[in-house]
């Protein structure tokens, strides 16, 4: 294994693991604000307890997001030094801004939210929750702006020493690719949080434990889940797909497994791409649909991989194809599940319908897989470029760091993150078993002043 | 522009050292001061609401360094690859141990996380001190402005040094003692009852060690990098900085004796600031000196990002930092005073 490949695996592994946490906390932050809002408007103390319960789960996920996030910023310098040297004048900007505008906000108000419930008024405590939400979403924005510039570079110029600099700050921040990707990504985070909240509710009802909270969680999770699943597909997913098709046609051909350019291009639902024979094995495909999805007419011509020189093909083609299909397939399943659950909720049957509670419970890991697959689609689709059309991935890594050193730290991260995963699962599972109403704070009735669990 | 960004980055690093410094110090002392479970919980609670925000200064400072001096970021982060990765692992272990300890009722797990908290805090202090000493000593920069340092070679300060040599070990020890003192003074301020007395006694003992290692580190620095005195000789007024370092050391001792814990803590904060400012003055305008050929030094002029980025950066940086200061003042005011029994969350 050479250093380049190890550096790629290093980044891919650490960022994939890292993103397990923010996708939950960014979505959950919004849902906690909703819980605090309902508590304030209805004076129903149960919603405050619900918020406190989720705050505990939020806190541990946030912490793991922070400690696994620091290596991401460092890795630009450690493993991708040539990329950092060349583009620091562009992407250093949003990364520095993330620290200054988002992390200070998030960490301070999370401290107030978790430790300050007694010292703050109810409205102030809601405000602290809202600031945590805003901070986490600003943080997400700066990361997406960074990624969007690598996907779709604009508003830059090249200095004499060959490095890149931002030519227009506002054009860079208003990169349309960034805003579309941001909407799609944040919505995906809400899907994860909704499924986790709904699955916890389903677990309580099936287990006949904390049933009162089970109903609250299920209701909130299903409503938020349905809304986010719809927006995830239309308009955000649709827009994102069209944008990729316009600016990264080779990526879309790889995602769809379209080897040959053709009019009335089909969409492949299932099938295995074979790079050698350049066709899809065992295909289940619907003609014309891909042309329609991208161009709005069934006869439009869609460029296949044959339209591009092989050195510009996405370098891990089958992985790209599967990532995209897993994401899209799961997105469809989420919408179906949440739509049926919402109908049952509306008709007042959701809480007692076991055949829907079971799939809701079992589906909670799936949004994690879908979000990961979505990110893999976008990042593998960008290959072989590090910055699309400007810098190849093979130009960006740290040539002075030997493969042996890169493997050493990759193994270190693998080991450390394995241990963290076990602790994380044990602790979150224990929180869920203990439930919102602990002995330390018995159920307060409506209007009871808030209590902190000591 | 280069001058401004040099000092912006220096101020952010100093803010990190002062703020995360006291919670690292609490971690170092946790193994010695806490006797019963109550003490340990008090120690954690004294930093509970703020340590995470303190650590953000490292990220924000790192991000600002990346943005303002991309070449320095690229060269130093890849060159210091191994120690930086170890720092990352330590930060992960430390963060996890603080948070997870709050969520377990089992003696074995608590002891495990306490040990991890102590060990990671102490090693981080040593690594940060050694890192600064590495920058002062210089690294074997190649013609392409990159380098790679092993963890250690022959422990000597030569043309091909390792991360650890006798000089950087002194740097690590200074940081360990300075942050432990800083943490002790924080605990005098925050901890109630007997724990406060123990912290005060620890601060007095640590003070003597700190005085010694500080006095050793100054001539050692001049021996390793004689050019560190160039700026001082050109502007003798700058010799005020080492004088202030000594003044702050005296301040720590006398304010602790007069039972003025806030003044003592601020003295130790300023001690850290003046130590760092003194080092920065010695380096300026070099960012990372070469240990082989002064012509290969990475200087501000070589590493500075493009002018447009930096002009825009000044605007948002000033605005963002003003906001951050407001958050910090709000948070420290809200959690001011002694730690109380019910100021935790979770269990």
Picking from A111, A163, A431, the nearest residue to B331 by CB comes out as: A111
Picking from A60, A119, A399, the nearest residue to B334 by CB comes out as: A119
Q: Does B50 touch chain A (CB under 8 A)?
A: yes
A312: its two tokens:
């510009």
Whether B99 is in a domain gets the answer yes
Picking from B68, B75, B103, the nearest residue to A427 by CB comes out as: B103
Question: Which A-chain residues 89-128 have CB contacts (< 8 A) with chain B?
Answer: 89-90, 92-93, 95-101, 103-105, 107-112, 114-116, 118-120
- Other Cβ atoms less than 10 A from the Cβ of A369: the count is 12
Nearest CA among A170, A220, A233, A232 for reference residue A194: A220
Contacts of A166 in chain B (CB under 8 A): 306, 308-309, 312
DSSP-assigned letters across all residues of A51-107: HHHHHHHHHHHHHHHHHHHHHHHHHHHHT-HHHHHHHHHHHHHHHHHIIIIIIHHHH
pLDDT tens per residue, range B170-226: 999 999 999 999 999 999 999 988 999 999 999 999 999 999 999 999 999 999 988
- Please return the burial class of A152, using the count of CB atoms within 10 Å of its CB with bins 0-12, 13-18 and 19+: buried
The predicted structure's pLDDT at residue A453 = 34
Mark yes or no for CB contact B52/A63 under 8 Å: yes
Q: How confident is the model at residue B344 (pLDDT cuts 50, 70, 90)?
A: low
Mean pLDDT confidence for B8-28: 94
Whether B38 is in a domain gets the answer yes
Contacts of A109 in chain B (CB under 8 A): 327
Whether B339 is in a domain gets the answer no
Contacts of A159 in chain B (CB under 8 A): 306
Q: Does A166 touch chain B (CB under 8 A)?
A: yes
Residue A208 to chain B, least CA–CA distance (Å): 24
Q: Does A239 touch chain B (CB under 8 A)?
A: no
Q: Is the ipTM of this complex over 0.85?
A: yes
Mean pLDDT confidence for A30-46: 93
- In B, minimum Cα distance to A18 occurs at B92
The predicted structure's pLDDT at residue A438 = 57
Whether residue B48 contacts residue B97, with contact meaning beta carbons closer than 8 Å, is answered with no
Whether B284 is in a domain gets the answer yes
Picking from B66, B146, B147, the nearest residue to A88 by CB comes out as: B66
Picking from B60, B67, B91, the nearest residue to A93 by CB comes out as: B67
Q: State how many domains chain B has.
A: 1
Mean pLDDT confidence for A281-287: 89
Contacts of B248 (CB under 8 A, 6+ apart): B267, B268, B270, B271, B274
* pLDDT higher than threshold 60 for residue A454: no
Whether residue B167 contacts residue B133, with contact meaning beta carbons closer than 8 Å, is answered with yes
* pLDDT higher than threshold 50 for residue B295: yes
Name B26's bridge partners: none
Whether B127 is in a domain gets the answer yes
Q: What values do phi and psi take at A385, rounded to 5?
A: -95, 145
Nearest CA among B173, B174, B196 for reference residue B186: B196
Listed by start position, the domains of chain A span 3-241+322-434
Mark yes or no for CB contact A115/B82 under 8 Å: no
Question: Which A-chain residues 394-423 have CB contacts (< 8 A) with chain B?
Answer: 398-402, 405, 408-409, 412, 416, 420, 423
Mark yes or no for CB contact A401/B74 under 8 Å: no
pLDDT tens per residue, range A154-168: 999 999 889 999 999
- Orientation of helix B107-137 relative to helix B166-190, angle to 10°: 130
Whether B189 is in a domain gets the answer yes
Range of the domain at B239: 2-334
- Other Cβ atoms less than 10 A from the Cβ of A115: the count is 22
Q: Does B340 touch chain A (CB under 8 A)?
A: no
Whether residue A57 contacts residue A431, with contact meaning beta carbons closer than 8 Å, is answered with yes
A34: its two tokens:
């909703």
Contacts of A86 in chain B (CB under 8 A): 70
What's the rounded Cα separation, in Å, for the pair B185 and B271? 13
In total, the C-beta contacts within 8 angstroms joining chain A to chain B are 239
What's the rounded Cα separation, in Å, for the pair B257 and A109? 36
Q: How many CA atoms lie within 13 A of B306 on its CB side?
A: 25
A246: its two tokens:
């316009």
Q: Does B284 touch chain A (CB under 8 A)?
A: no
What's the rounded Cα separation, in Å, for the pair B23 and B40? 13
Whether B340 is in a domain gets the answer no
Cα radius of gyration rounded to whole Å, chain B: 20
* pLDDT higher than threshold 80 for residue A441: no
Q: Does A171 touch chain B (CB under 8 A)?
A: no
- In B, minimum Cα distance to A75 occurs at B77
What's the rounded Cα separation, in Å, for the pair B160 and B77? 18
pLDDT tens per residue, range A341-399: 999 999 999 999 999 999 999 999 999 999 999 999 999 999 999 999 999 999 999 99
Contacts of A377 (CB under 8 A, 6+ apart): A255, A320, A323, A324, A327
Q: How many CA atoms lie within 13 A of A32 on its CB side?
A: 30
The predicted structure's pLDDT at residue B292 = 85
A311: its two tokens:
């050195």
Whether B153 is in a domain gets the answer yes
- Residue that is written with structure tokens 């290692």 in the block: B213
């Amino acid at each position: 294994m050479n250093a380049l490949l190890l550096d790629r695996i290093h980044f891919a592994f650490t960022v994939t693991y890292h993103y397990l946490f923010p996708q939950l906390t960014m979505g959950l932050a919004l849902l906690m604000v909703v819980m605090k809002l309902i508590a304030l408007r209805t004076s129903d103390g149960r919603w405050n307890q619900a918020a406190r319960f989720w705050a505990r789960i939020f806190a541990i996920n946030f912490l793991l997001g922070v400690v696994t996030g620091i290596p991401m910023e460092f890795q630009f310098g450690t493993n991708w030094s040539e990329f950092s040297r060349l583009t620091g004048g562009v992407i250093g900007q949003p990364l520095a801004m993330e620290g200054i505008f988002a992390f200070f906000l998030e960490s301070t108000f999370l401290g107030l939210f978790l430790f300050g419930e007694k010292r703050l008024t109810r409205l102030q405590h809601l405000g602290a929750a809202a600031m945590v939400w805003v901070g986490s979403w600003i943080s997400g924005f700066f990361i997406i702006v960074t990624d969007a510039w690598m996907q779709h570079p604009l508003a830059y110029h090249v200095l004499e020493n060959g490095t890149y600099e931002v030519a227009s700050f506002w054009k860079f921040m208003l990169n349309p690719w960034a805003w579309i990707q941001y909407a799609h990504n944040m919505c995906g985070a809400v899907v994860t949080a909704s499924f986790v909240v709904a699955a916890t509710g389903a677990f309580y009802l099936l287990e006949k434990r904390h049933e009162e909270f089970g109903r609250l969680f299920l209701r909130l999770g299903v409503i938020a889940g349905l809304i986010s699943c719809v927006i995830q597909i239309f308009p955000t997913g649709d827009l994102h797909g069209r944008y990729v098709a316009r600016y990264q046609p080779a990526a879309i051909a790889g995602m769809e497994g379209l080897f040959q350019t053709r009019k009335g291009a089909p969409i492949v639902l299932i099938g295995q791409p074979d790079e050698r024979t350049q066709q899809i094995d065992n295909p289940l495909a619907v003609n014309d649909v891909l042309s329609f999805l991208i161009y709005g007419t069934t006869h439009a011509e869609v460029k296949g991989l044959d339209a591009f020189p092989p050195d510009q093909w996405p370098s891990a083609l089958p992985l790209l194809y599967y990532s995209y299909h897993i994401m899209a397939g799961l997105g469809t399943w989420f919408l179906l599940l949440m739509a049926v659950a919402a109908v049952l909720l509306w008709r007042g049957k959701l809480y007692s319908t076991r055949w829907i509670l079971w799939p809701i419970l079992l589906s909670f890991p799936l949004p994690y897989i879908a979000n990961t697959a979505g990110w893999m689609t976008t990042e593998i689709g960008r290959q072989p470029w590090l910055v699309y059309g400007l810098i190849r991935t093979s130009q960006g890594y740290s040539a002075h760091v030997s493969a042996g050193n890169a493997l050493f730290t990759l193994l270190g991260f693998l080991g450390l993150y394995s241990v963290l995963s076990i602790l994380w699962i044990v602790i979150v599972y224990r929180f869920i078993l203990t439930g919102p109403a602990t002995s330390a704070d018995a159920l307060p009735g409506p209007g009871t002043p808030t209590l902190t669990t000591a | 522009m280069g001058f401004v960004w040099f000092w912006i980055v220096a101020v952010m690093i100093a803010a990190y050292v002062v703020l995360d410094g006291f919670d690292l110090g609490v971690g170092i002392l946790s193994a010695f001061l806490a006797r019963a479970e109550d003490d340990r919980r008090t120690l954690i609670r004294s930093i509970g609401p703020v340590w995470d925000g303190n650590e953000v200064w490292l990220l924000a400072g790192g991000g600002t360094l990346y943005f303002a001096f991309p070449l320095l970021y690229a060269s130093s982060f890849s060159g210091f690859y191994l120690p930086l990765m170890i720092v990352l692992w330590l930060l992960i272990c430390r963060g996890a141990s603080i948070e997870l300890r709050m969520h377990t009722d089992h003696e074995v797990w608590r002891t495990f996380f306490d040990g991890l908290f102590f060990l990671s805090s102490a090693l981080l202090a040593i690594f940060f001190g050694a890192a600064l000493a590495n920058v002062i000593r210089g690294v074997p920069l190649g013609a392409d402005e990159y380098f790679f340092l092993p963890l250690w070679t022959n422990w000597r300060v030569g043309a091909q040094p390792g991360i650890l040599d006798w000089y950087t070990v002194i740097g690590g020890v200074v940081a360990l003692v300075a942050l432990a003192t800083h943490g002790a003074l924080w605990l005098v301020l925050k901890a109630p009852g007997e724990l406060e007395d123990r912290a005060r006694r620890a601060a007095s003992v640590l003070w003597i060690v700190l005085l010694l290692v500080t006095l050793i580190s100054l001539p050692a620095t001049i021996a390793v990098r004689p050019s560190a005195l160039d700026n001082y000789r050109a502007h003798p007024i700058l010799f005020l900085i080492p004088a202030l370092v000594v003044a702050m050391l005296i301040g720590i001792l006398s304010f602790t004796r007069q039972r003025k814990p806030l003044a003592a803590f601020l003295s130790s904060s300023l001690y850290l600031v003046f130590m760092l400012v003194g080092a920065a003055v010695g380096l300026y305008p070099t960012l990372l000196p070469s240990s082989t050929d002064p012509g290969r030094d990475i200087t501000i002029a070589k590493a500075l990002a493009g002018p447009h980025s930096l002009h825009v950066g000044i605007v948002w940086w000033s605005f963002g930092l003003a906001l951050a200061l407001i958050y910090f003042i709000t948070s420290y005011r809200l959690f001011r005073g002694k730690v109380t029994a019910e100021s935790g969350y979770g269990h």
